[in-house]
Structure 1
């Protein structure tokens, strides 16, 4: 969590295939050297019949390697076609913000990386075959290289089956909602709540201004900022929250206790979209988006909205008694040391509003959704301390008011306002 480089690489689609091809090139180079040493050793010992047998085996394998090199591009085309269809369906059916799930999918990257590596390896192996078959004149027989190619083909087939299975799962809304929830809990578990709030830092003695492009504040390099603050005896406060849109000239860091050192602005990452890395509310934003699209007249799928409400309630229940509002990072391990960086995070009211406000406005058209939302309010009210009940009670009262105004029949109103964890059990 402290360094965002790993998360940024996970949001790219080029790193894994390029790294895999570099590794495969190195392995091929090593195998080519071993093949050459084996042939030279047999020739020095006068084992020309063994060399001839190796040449015959390699010739038989050459047909397979040639077929693999031509067929692998077709496999790669199939993978891309399935990926594009899955992304298009997810964007239209769920939300454009869930596309990043497919971009970050490990199985997708692994499949593409292995397929491209197998194609590259087959081309490299074909360059190692010699036209001369005389065992006395042959300098290298690509035996190990051919075996490696066959192993890569087998791995490609296994990954292709796993890839298709993973894509079919990600096309189902329940698995998408579950993946978003898992990512949200991962952010929650990595946030050092035990650090508490930074307290009163006093007046700011300087500011760091954003000079880059306009965009969404994705994350900050916490480790680098803490080291810089400790080195200069400062306390830094991140002014915008993660997920806020910032424009050039916006103050992004307040400095307390001295002048702002150079280079701090490079520790703040601004991009075109939000990420899960340090954004506590991004999961709720996606769940609310999926639920809203499901309740739109064009889709009219209240069951999907109920599934989103299930996860929203689950996530808020995990936050019921956690300290919110700000996180303070210290310069020691285990929460020890002086506070060096204070980062604002959404408060309890902010998260409740994010999870329920928009869905509540659309819940009157479906008793299934209103019943599930009331059950969620009741569950959360039984978990939160007294000081956190107000936003839940406010949303519950507003939902009851909306249903009473929108549903003319008293019997239908009573039915829609009956709490039910399954919506309509």
Structure 2
């Protein structure tokens, strides 16, 4: 691990609860917070506008009176401006919603798996929240101007002007962020950073000791079908320690679970409590409709391969995007070649083995990363030359025990190129290692 200086520092991740993930994948929470904030802020500012005149009548505060009179001058002609503001903010909200829909449509052209990058964008959620807050705030303040002979709400009106300026700044940031999200290079880089964070936790995993005994119990899955998205390892270790057993999970994160399939094996001799019941193991797992990057080591590679495969489809025919995805795949494979892959062992505070979690091995990672791109890109010399460079570089740095899989991939690449190019010159050109594809 010390030879991998670019690997991020491993961080302990909180369990992926359904409520937490629902908030991250939803666009409703931040706008509701914005509406509530707008109403509360308007209520506070209007109350402050009613309190300050009475306070000035009872106290001689020249500096406060001069400042409040300045705000009154600002608010004297603000009634029409605030009315225009409320209608304009509603129009802005429609524009932001339209731009968001266009961005989501653009994301689906890369691969449907990266739509979550747009949905989880903090800039998009903040923009909706600020615009809705300004809209409701302006409506509430505008009501206070209607037909009253008293002074206008000076502070509330002045703050309304400030919120409009803030909304315009947020809108500029939103447009910049959305345009950046529409660039495939940014999306590829974002997915790569997420994969590196997951990889950092796997890099420091201890080796798995042997289990000589046979399982004493088999726990089936008895829930609704779904994807295993997250394992609450801390809770599972506590459960295994409480029963003095070793829990060996059978599916790995990212697998699709169906009712009745084997979920976990129980090893060891349980104490007087017996083997843990299935109803206690199930709550330690998070099941959802799609994979996430929380603990899934190979999901980042899956997304990069999907982007490359989509770019190599006949309808799009964009081998340069496939090469850009291969650049990131090359970086991830380089890091993975130097760390221990396979099952992860989890110990309790007394260094006793309690949980074994299955993780993809080196051969699985290489197959996932290169097979589909090789099959779909065999007719593009830009892709085959980049693949040759990837395999050549990996063979230089990968431990000898892992090289046979890379040699096999080289052979498969050569065979695919030979089937595509009948002439020797074409084959030689297509197999020439080139880190830029064709420059």
Contact map agreement 1:209 1:265 (CA 8 A) in 2: no
Contact map agreement 1:225 1:264 (CA 8 A) in 2: yes
Q: Name 1:4's counterpart in structure 2.
A: 16
Contact map agreement 2:240 2:276 (CA 8 A) in 1: no
Contact map agreement 1:206 1:260 (CA 8 A) in 2: no
Map residues 138-287 of structure 1 onto 2, 5 A cutoff.
142-191=153-202, 193-197=204-208, 199-200=210-211, 202-256=213-267, 257=270, 258-261=274-277, 262-287=279-304
Query: Cα distance, 1:386 vs. partner?
Result: 0.7
Report the count of equivalent residues: 416
Q: How big is each residue's C-alpha offset from its partner over 1:33-59, in whole Å with a ceiling of 9 and x where there is no partner?
A: 433332321243499x97887656444
Correspondent of 1:386 among 400, 408, 418: 400
Q: TM-score, normalised on structure 1?
A: 0.89
In structure 1, distance between residues paired with 2:418 and 2:218? 51
**CA separation of 1:376/1:146 partners in 2, compared to 1, >3 Å: closer, same or farther?**
same
Q: Name 2:131's counterpart in structure 1.
A: 115
Can you give the 5+ residue segments of structure 1 that lack an aligned partner in the other structure? 136-140
Q: Name 2:27's counterpart in structure 1.
A: 13
SS at match of 1:291: helix
SS at match of 1:240: coil
In structure 2, distance between residues paired with 1:129 and 1:237? 68
Contact map agreement 2:388 2:410 (CA 8 A) in 1: yes
In structure 1, distance between residues paired with 2:353 and 2:46? 56
Question: For the aligned residues, what is the CA RMSD?
Answer: 2.6
Can you give the 5+ residue segments of structure 2 that lack an aligned partner in the other structure? 1-12
In structure 2, distance between residues paired with 1:253 and 1:29? 55
In structure 2, distance between residues paired with 1:223 and 1:64? 56
In structure 1, distance between residues paired with 2:412 and 2:126? 48
Map residues 315-394 of structure 1 onto 2, 5 A cutoff.
315-332=332-349, 337-394=351-408
Query: Cα distance, 1:30 vs. partner?
Result: 3.6
In structure 2, distance between residues paired with 1:388 and 1:420? 23
Q: How big is each residue's C-alpha offset from its partner over 1:200-258, in whole Å with a ceiling of 9 and x where there is no partner?
A: 27433444443332121121233333343344444333321111111122333334444
Query: Cα distance, 1:26 vs. partner?
Result: 3.9
Q: Name 2:120's counterpart in structure 1.
A: 104
Contact map agreement 2:27 2:125 (CA 8 A) in 1: yes
In structure 2, distance between residues paired with 1:396 and 1:349? 14
SS at match of 1:389: helix
Q: Name 1:38's counterpart in structure 2.
A: 52
Query: Cα distance, 1:75 vs. partner?
Result: 0.8
Contact map agreement 1:281 1:351 (CA 8 A) in 2: yes
SS at match of 2:397: coil
Q: TM-score, normalised on structure 2?
A: 0.86
Between 355-364 and 29-38, report the one with greater CA deviation: 29-38
Q: Name 2:95's counterpart in structure 1.
A: 78
In structure 2, distance between residues paired with 1:223 and 1:39? 58
Which 4+ residue blocks in structure 1 deviate beyond 6 angstroms?
49-53
**CA separation of 1:117/1:206 partners in 2, compared to 1, >3 Å: closer, same or farther?**
farther
Q: Name 1:138's counterpart in structure 2.
A: none
Query: Cα distance, 1:65 vs. partner?
Result: 2.5
In structure 1, distance between residues paired with 2:105 and 2:254? 25
Q: How big is each residue's C-alpha offset from its partner over 1:310-337, in whole Å with a ceiling of 9 and x where there is no partner?
A: 11111111111111112223334xxx73
